[in-house]
Amino acid sequence: MLLPSVAGAAVFHVIPMFQVVKRSVMDQAGREFVGWEHYREVLSNRSFRLAVQNTVRFLGICVPVLLVLSLLCALLFYKDKKGLRKTVMLMPMAIPTASIVLVWKLLFKRFGLVDRLFSGYTGGVDYISSRWALGILILTYIWRNIGYDVILWIAALKSVDQSIDEAAQIDGAGKWQRFVWITWPHIAPYGSVILLLSLGNAFKAFREIYLTAGEYPNQSIYFLQHIFHNWLLHFKLTDLCAGAVLVIGAVGMLSVLFQRLLEGDREGGSL
């Protein structure tokens, strides 16, 4: 019964991944082995280094902020029986990307609402193409994804044995002590999954940037997806494959590191 799923995963994921790795060490025609040449070209490319720098900055700011804010909201809302707050927080995920892009343009483009408010009626500032672009993108990402992470954290919180928490409360433990020594060790294993999902959603933010600012946006929001897209348009497939392998390796190491940190926290909390 597993054979169709395994075959589908092999055909559409595993085999293409091996092909990407293979193309990254072959020449453009795929006939001659060139070793690490494409990796050296990619790492020495100024546009690639800029894209990596911007992507790391974006992920380093928005993902931790999203995880912390969503966990705080989950702690506040997970006992809400009506579920109205959860529904409201999930609504941004149901909004189509095209609608979000339209709102972006109405708010932040030149002569948009924000420009009218802060620049007077003359206008003249395109916030999406200015130094404010990264901040706008981070706020949009958090606004759109916080509800999804809140639901995941709430599911994790429901796995905590409430009898242990109540016993600690009777013994005089405060809210912070109960969270550190009881709640967090139980929900920490779920944190790695939430982190991976948040990272995946962060890479999807490229859709809004591309539809709003095009192939060459402001320098502060020029991400890896932009350079990969441009390499694909110019048929630089070997550079694209080498860059993809580097990104997959970096994300994989980050995931393993975070998983080990969470396991360490859980073991420390259980002691």
Tell me the per-residue pLDDT of 108-119, one tens digit each, with 9 for 90 and over: 887 778 877 777
pTM: 0.80
pLDDT (mean) for 207-215? 78
DSSP codes, 38-73? HHHHHHT-HHHHHHHHHHHHHHHHHHHHHHHHHHHH
Predicted local confidence at residue 271, as pLDDT: 40
Highest mean pLDDT of the ranges 75-79, 173-177, 229-233: 229-233
Domain 50-270: homologous superfamily in CATH = MetI-like (1.10.3720.10)
Neighbours of 271 (CB within 10 A): 7
DSSP codes, 151-216? HHHHHHHTTS-HHHHHHHHHTT--HHHHIIIIIHHHHHHHHHHHHHHHHHHHHTTHHHHHHHH-SS
Give the residue range(s) of CATH 1.10.3720.10 domains in the chain.
50-270
